């Protein structure tokens, strides 16, 4: 009886269909396991960051400097993610990681594990003294640090410490209520 089933053309079609489905399921599992659909940090040099700071437009830019090893930085990330989740087209959140570029896998794993939706840039500039003053003259280099920039008015606000709950919205309101 098994010989008859094996040679049956419908059985061969059914077997081929099962194999196709098995391959599709395996491909989906591979995508999930590798995080292929997850966001990845973009490695940039300071020139790219400077162009972001100089861009003209109608948005309020929020640029947060952080690192995966910085506990206060990690603690405040949900505040930025809450702003991103609102999908307000007048606000753009960018998280600038100061982790070393050779730790990109660690940063991408962090992004994936935390389900970070904000844009993440990894700044590949280890000589911090060469660029910190060009971001903000008063910044000593400590993180977390956040620069708020109203592109339309040019008004800036810099916060060189961890932001507390509600503070982010207050700064945004102060920049948009002109």
The pLDDT score that the predictor gives to residue 128 is: 87
**pTM of the predicted model, to two decimals?**
0.78
The C-alpha atoms of residue 168 and residue 172 are separated, in whole angstroms, by 6
The pLDDT score that the predictor gives to residue 126 is: 86
Class of domain 42-176: alpha beta
What are the pLDDT digits (tens) for 118-129? Answer: 999 999 998 988
How much is the mean pLDDT over the chain? Answer: 85
Q: Is the pLDDT confidence value at 7 over 80? A: no
What are the pLDDT digits (tens) for 45-101? Answer: 999 999 999 999 999 999 999 999 999 999 999 999 999 999 999 999 999 999 999
Could you state, in order of their start, the residue ranges of all structural domains in the chain? 2-34, 42-176
């Amino acid at each position: 009886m098994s010989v008859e089933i094996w040679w049956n053309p419908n059985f061969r079609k059914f077997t081929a269909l099962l194999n196709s489905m098995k391959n599709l399921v395996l491909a989906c599992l591979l995508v999930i396991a590798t995080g292929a659909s997850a966001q990845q940090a973009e490695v940039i040099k300071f020139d790219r960051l400077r162009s972001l700071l100089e861009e003209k437009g109608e948005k309020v830019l929020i640029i947060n400097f952080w690192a995966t090893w910085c506990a206060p930085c990690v603690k405040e990330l949900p505040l930025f993610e809450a702003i991103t989740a609102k999908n307000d087209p007048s606000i753009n959140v960018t998280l600038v990681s100061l982790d070393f570029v050779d730790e990109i896998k660690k940063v991408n794993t962090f992004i994936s594990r935390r389900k970070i939706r904000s844009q993440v840039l990894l700044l590949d500039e280890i000589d911090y003294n060469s660029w910190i003053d060009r971001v903000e003259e008063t910044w000593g280099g400590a993180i977390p640090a956040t620069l708020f920039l109203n592109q339309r008015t040019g008004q800036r606000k810099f916060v060189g410490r961890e932001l507390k709950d509600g503070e982010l919205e207050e700064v945004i309101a102060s920049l948009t209520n002109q």
